[in-house]
Each structure stands twice: as structure tokens, then as C-alpha cells.
Amino acid sequence: MLFHWLIAAAVFAAIGMGLYMTSPPITPLRFRVYNWHKWLGVCLLLATVLRVAWRIRHAPPPPLDGVMKSLEVLAARAVHFLLYALCFLVPLSGWAYTTAEGRPVVLFGRFPLPDFVPVNPALADVLKITHHWLAWTLSALILLHIAAALKHRFVDRDGVLARMLPSSPFRRSA
């Protein structure tokens, strides 16, 4: 549950930073936000690796009996898989784009990270577009995920959302 909410907060912050830093005008703050965005992306990547490692060793709770139809369970699994995949791909594509442009990623201004693609302006252009569309795809999936959670809470009233809320007043008793 903690990984879920930490990653959710990081993704929302990264998306907000991404929207801010790509909008005019150019200001000194925008340049700082670029670094913060990169740092957050690296931290998001690390948190996602840790979450997947956790998930491998700890199975998710089974669907609530009789609550979700088999198609809903399948859709939920597919969306979760895509969310995990995009939490890897978005930061990696941003890191690759940055290094293809010839700009290093220096975590917290102290720890230089390896460049894993060569400096190549043409590749940087492709990676920039790739990062952009992967981020928008992640944003759309997050909205779908939130909409499904709200549907479970307010339409189905089935306790699915409450399983992800700590000490929830909405938690269904067993």
C-alpha cells in the first residue's frame, strides 16, 4: 500500500513538473524544475523496481469474492501491468532522451548516472517524442485507474477502493 501511494505521489509530481517545464516562458525556475523532474524520474524508477520486487515476493490480495466480474478482473490486471510497465518506460525514455542530447543526469546534483545511449541528436528527437507520448499514455491510464476506483466506491459500493486506503472509514468489514 505504501509503495502504491508513494509512486502515485511521485507520478503526479513528475507529470505536474513536466507540464510546467514544457510551457512558456523560460525562467530560471523552469531550469531547476528540469533537474527536479529528472531526479524524481530516477527515484520513481527505483521505487518501481522495489515495488515489483515486493510484488514478486508478496502476491496481491485476491479479488473480493463475487464483487468483480471476470472481465473486470482481467481489465484490472491489464491496466496494472501497463501502469508498472510505464513506470519503467517513462523514466527510462526520459533518461535516454537526456543522454542522447548530451546532457548528463546527475542525481541530486551529486551522483552522475551512466549515459546508456550515445549522444545523437536524431535519436534524441525520437526519444523526446517517445517520452512525451509514454507520459501521456501513463496519464490516461492513471485517469482510467482513478475512474475505476471511484466507480467501485460510489457506484458498486463494493469495498475494492477501501482495500487501498489505510484505516479507511469505507473499509468493508469481513
Round to whole Å and give the CA distance between 149 and 164. Answer: 10
pLDDT value at 172 more than 70? no
Q: pLDDT for 3-33, tens place per residue?
A: 888 999 999 999 999 999 988 888 899 989 9
Q: What is the DSSP letter of 112?
A: E
Place of cell 469505507: 170
Locus of grid cell 500500500: 1
Residues 95, 131 contacting (CB under 8 angstroms): no
Q: What is the mean pLDDT of residues 76-82?
A: 95
The predicted-structure confidence for 99-108, as pLDDT tens digits, reads as follows 999 999 999 9
Average pLDDT over residues 151-172: 76
Question: Structure pTM?
Answer: 0.88
Band of the pLDDT at 157, cuts 50, 70, 90? Answer: confident
How far apart, in whole angstroms, are the C-alpha atoms of residue 122 and residue 132?
16
Q: Report residue 26 as a C-alpha cell.
A: 523560460
Determine the residue type at 2. L
Provide the grid cell at 45: 524508477
Q: How far is the C-alpha of 69 from the C-alpha of 87, rounded, in Å?
A: 27
Grid cell 524520474 is found at 41
**Residue 173 pLDDT exceeds 50:** no
Distance CA 135, CA 70 (A): 29
36-53: per-residue pLDDT in tens? 999 999 999 999 999 999
